[in-house]
Amino acid sequence: MGAVTIHRWDEVDYAWLESHIGAIGFDLDTTLAKSKTPMTPQMAEAFSELTHHIPCAVVSGGKYELFSRQIIARIGDMADRRNLHFMPTSGTRYYAWNGDDWECRYAHDLSERDRDAAIESLTRHAKEQGLWLPDDRIWGDRLEDRGSQITFSALGQLAPVEAKEAWDPDRRKKNRLAAAVAADLPQLTVRSGGSTSVDVVARGIDKSYAIRELSGILGVDIPRIAFVGDRMDPDGNDYPTAVAGAYAIHVSGPDDTLRVIRNLLNVFSHR
């Protein structure tokens, strides 16, 4: 594997970037929006405008229903939906606009045996490591079967952003749990997901897989795809996009992402 380069959002030459890319992808949580919350009106407007200039994809470990609440409900008909591509559960599913609605074009679901094994291992190791909190200390489901992905959320799927950010700031808890589960499931891919989550998917499925799929769908070579994400560290779930060869842009949150989009829009407006 060649050297992996990560570009900080405020060090990017946006005029150069605009002239070299044919598509751009985004992570969702802590990139386009705060965790499990809808896009802000400012983000929805800027993101929608960007789709009128270049194909845009959103790749996230979250399920499609989150895309619907966090993005689709916010953008309405402002976006050019023909230029918008949704890839939930790290690209194991792909949704595109068919002229009337968002259509699932493919889904790579886990077998029942693998889903059961993932749930058992996540449950056992979370309890062993003291991460299985009492029901009155979590918000919503802590284990979720997304068909193509099993997700453990230590504080529950509906935990407040502030609680999620405070729970594991150095990611040691999640990484330790992921390592233990990975040892049980060599036939699957186990990774540290969002701020409180660990995801289990089919072997070889991560955001590098999503980038390769997107490249084929759009007919755009991977080096001509930019990807914007907050987890571009080597243990982060956005880092595989850089490994795949995409132009990786690191942001620390939605405010940075909004600046990225506006910088690109400024370049497009001066063509």
230 is an annotated ligand-binding site residue: yes
Query: Catalytic: which of 10, 13, 27, 235?
Result: 27
Which CATH code of 3.40.50.970, 3.30.70.3270, 1.10.10.10, 3.30.1240.20 fits the domain covering 112-202?
Answer: 3.30.1240.20
29 is an annotated ligand-binding site residue: yes
CATH topology of domain 6-107+205-269: Rossmann fold (3.40.50)
Query: Catalytic: which of 29, 206, 238, 256?
Result: 29
pLDDT (tens, 9 = 90+) of the chain, 271 residues, equals 568 999 999 999 999 999 999 999 999 999 999 988 999 999 999 999 999 999 999 999 888 999 999 999 999 999 999 999 999 988 889 999 999 999 999 988 899 999 999 999 999 999 999 999 999 999 999 999 988 889 999 999 889 989 998 999 988 999 999 999 999 999 998 988 778 999 998 887 889 999 999 999 999 999 999 999 999 988 788 999 999 999 999 999 999 999 999 999 999 998 7
Which residues are 93's β-sheet partners? 107
199 is an annotated ligand-binding site residue: yes
User: For position 224, what pLDDT does the model report?
Assistant: 98
Percent of the chain exceeding pLDDT 90 equals 82
**Where do the structural domains in the chain lie, given as residue ranges?**
6-107+205-269, 112-202
Going by DSSP bridges, is the β-strand pair 225-229/93-97 parallel, antiparallel, or unpaired? unpaired
197 is an annotated ligand-binding site residue: yes
Neighbours of 100 (CB within 10 A): 6
109 is catalytic: no
29 is catalytic: yes
Residue-wise burial string across 103-117, b where 16 or more C-beta atoms lie within 10 A, e elsewhere: eeeeebbbeeebbeb
